[in-house]
Every structure is written in structure tokens, then in C-alpha cells.
Amino acid sequence: MIEKVKYLVKEILKHNNDVSAVKIMDNSVFKYSTRMIHQWSDPEYEIYLYTDPDIYVKYRDNITRISDIIQFYINNSSDLHASFVQIKPNYEKINILSSEILITQTPWEEINKLQSELIQNLKRSCTSIDFQNIGNSSRTIMDKLARMVFDETVHKGLNEIDVRNGKFKNQLNSFISSSIAGNQNKELRQFSKSSIDFTEKAINLMNQTTHKLDVQKHFAEVCVISTISVISLIKSINQI
């Protein structure tokens, strides 16, 4: 019954174009308890909405109004009686990293922005889907980085490797081979290519869902750190 009431209330709020209230409902986990005031009366519902922290912060000045309006529509559109509706941040969606991860400032504003978003997403991640998204976002960053630095007319692919867009590992390896050529740069080339190979494997690992959440979190942190490390590396090589 409570799920049907929840659906109806959300539809009413949509009809009223109450964007903030709909956002709260769409991004909240509903929990409730009941209590009997009298043996002969219907139970009262105490309803809690545990909201994504970002959404809660965004609408924090409107929380009381949203709580009141949800309670009003529950009580006036159903046989349920909500004694109160309380909206709280969902602290399970907040993860504080043990050490601070900072972006690498680059000449590419889009890369800087994506790094910041990646770190924020890592801090909020708490489910397998969240961790998979970390891998997808890291792949997107690596792909965009490769497209920014790779020039097919300058950085010729070796041994006819596929350097089409989307093949970020091959593009970056070709960029490295061309930018830091020569025997004096052999160790740096090997290190740089190993870093890219490691990052690609870390990204691929994030698509696996067989690990426990605490293990996935550590893998996600490694994925983010290695992605940012490659960005720093490519930035340095690009400045040579």
C-alpha cells in the first residue's frame, strides 16, 4: 500500500510542477514504522526519506516545506495517516576517503572538470553500479585525453596498430613513442606505457561485479588514482 501511495503523491507533485519535492522523492530511500495509538484505530505511519546527500544539500532550505507537503498529500489522498514525514541525508552514500585525492591541473579544462567529477563520484560511491560508473568515467577521461594529444599526422602508429578514436591505449602509446623517442628515453617510455596498461586493466576490473563492496571500493580508488597519474604523466610529456 505504501508504495502505491508514494507513487500517487509523486504524480501529484509532478502535476503541480513541484520540482524540488519530486527530486527529493526520486532520490530518496523510503522507510517507515507504524504505531497503534488505540486498539480500535488505524495505525499511524512515521515516514522517513533518506535522501542523496547532494540533493539534500541542494534543497536544504526547502526541506521543511517539502516534508509538510508530502505529509499533506499522503493524508489527503489515501487512508494512511502519516503522523510525520522527516527528510534526512542518506549517510550511507557518503564515503570519506582515507587520503585526499587531488586533480592534476592541465591546460585542458574539460579534463580538469572530469577529474573533479570523478573524485566527487568516488566519494559518493557505495554500490556495485557506482563503482562500475567510476570505471566508465575513467575510460571516458582516458579517451578524451588521448584524442586531445594524439595527432595521427605526427604520432604515427607503430606496427600498424589501431589508432582510431576509442583506442585510447594505442593512441597514447603512439603519442609517447613519438614524443619521447630515442635510447635516452627508453626507461621513461617503458614506465609511461606500463602506467597506461595498468590503468586500462584497472578500468576493466571495475566492470566486474563479483567482488565484495569493500574490495570494489579499494579497486575504485586505485582506478581513480591511476587515471589521474596518467593525466599528470601525459601533461608532462606534452610539455617537453
Which amino acid makes up residue 158?
A: L
Cα gap 65→130, rounded to integer Å: 31
Residues of the chain with pLDDT under 50: none
pLDDT of residue 54: 78
Closest by CA to 127, choosing from 24, 216, 221, is 216
Cα gap 89→28, rounded to integer Å: 9
| Tens of pLDDT, residues 140-154 | 999 999 999 988 777
Fold classified for 2-93: GMP Synthetase; Chain A, domain 3 (3.30.300)
pLDDT of residue 211: 67
Closest by CA to 232, choosing from 123, 115, 154, is 115
pLDDT of residue 101: 82
CA atoms within 13 A on the CB side of 122: 30
Cα gap 118→195, rounded to integer Å: 19
pLDDT of residue 240: 74
pLDDT of residue 210: 59
Asked whether the beta carbons of 142 and 168 are under 8 A apart, the reply is yes
